[in-house]
Amino acid sequence: MSNPRVGLVLGSGSSRGWAHIGVIEALQKYDIQISAIAATSSGSFIGASFASGGLGSIKKFALDMDWKRVLSFLDIAFPRSGFIDGHKVAELIQRYTKVSRFEELSIPVHMVATDMFTGEQIILSEGSISDALRASMAVPGLITPILIGDRWLVDGGVVNPLPVDVCRQMETDLIIAVDLNSERIAKRTQNLVEDGWKNGSESIEKKRLEVIKSWIERYGTAGKTVSTKIDQWFSKEEPSPHIFEVLGSSLSIMQKKIEIMNLEIHKPDILIQPRLGDLKFFDFDQAARAIDEGYQRTVAAIPEIRKQLLSLSSDAS
């Protein structure tokens, strides 16, 4: 008798995507064998890294991440279709996925992207992994879309941030889904900065701001102009949120609404929901906390996972 096939759904969530590393580590520790992965956006990156044998390397990369390293992978070019051109993101993808084509992965991975003109969900499961990841992770307005075949593709989270239905189509018996948008704690950047700067103390936000400014100023006169604008974004006199906060928050809210509707129709057998709602879009330097939260939430779900697997095995016999 064959063991039940476990499908893992890794949802979108920008910086919260590091939690997927902890989820997979917990499943491995308790000997829950993953047979298939369906993923969107940051979930696609972690899923491909795991299926290619590179999870340990990407974990080390994540834990070493600071704002200088975050910025080193953002090739800001201000093209007409996005702030970030995406070539350095592609380099990062190629470095940590270890293999170049889907056919080389140890387990099947299906990635979700979106046709930016028709709104159609596109499932990528063959050919170039780096191209598929660039498509699945191309946040509209932030990272430029990519042309695959005759379609311009953007982030799969636009249409399906938690692709349970895709995983169901992969002939799985038990589906474990990781929802990174389960809570949304919105804190205005201005308040965070004020809290950290009072009494002259340096905050994480202030340190990040200085790194961002020094990096952008390398771009000559235009860079200095943008640097001055950043000062305005974070100043006490500027009450409105800056553009990256607007894009990130809007996308998270949209994805949460879509997830709520999709989960009514496509229910996973196990739903894991790390509590990371206070992490903002670019908080990639908060990997240790995200990984641990994913791990702990998955450990808590292990008894139910084992119970359902035992039931499936009994039914099969």
Of 115, 155, 283, 285, which residue is the catalytic one?
155
Alpha helices in the chain (DSSP H): 19-29, 42-51, 55-63, 67-72, 87-97, 129-136, 164-168, 189-197, 204-216, 220-234, 243-265, 287-316
Alpha helices in 161-286 (DSSP H): 164-168, 189-197, 204-216, 220-234, 243-265
155 catalytically annotated = yes
Of 41, 42, 49, 182, which residue is the catalytic one?
41
Structure-token match 């949304």, residue found: 184
Q: How many CA atoms lie within 13 A of 90 on its CB side?
A: 17
Residue type, 311: S
Q: How far is CA 280 from CA 73, 166, 211, 276, 290, in A?
A: 18, 27, 17, 9, 12
Cα 38 to its chain centre, rounded Å, is 13
CB 236 within 8 A of CB 183: no
Please list the helix, strand and coil fractions of the chain in percent, rounded to the nearest 5, in that order: 55, 15, 30
Query: Which has the closest alpha carbon to 284: 100, 131, 58, 49?
Result: 58
Structure-token match 């701001």, residue found: 209
* Catalytically active residues, by annotation: 41, 155
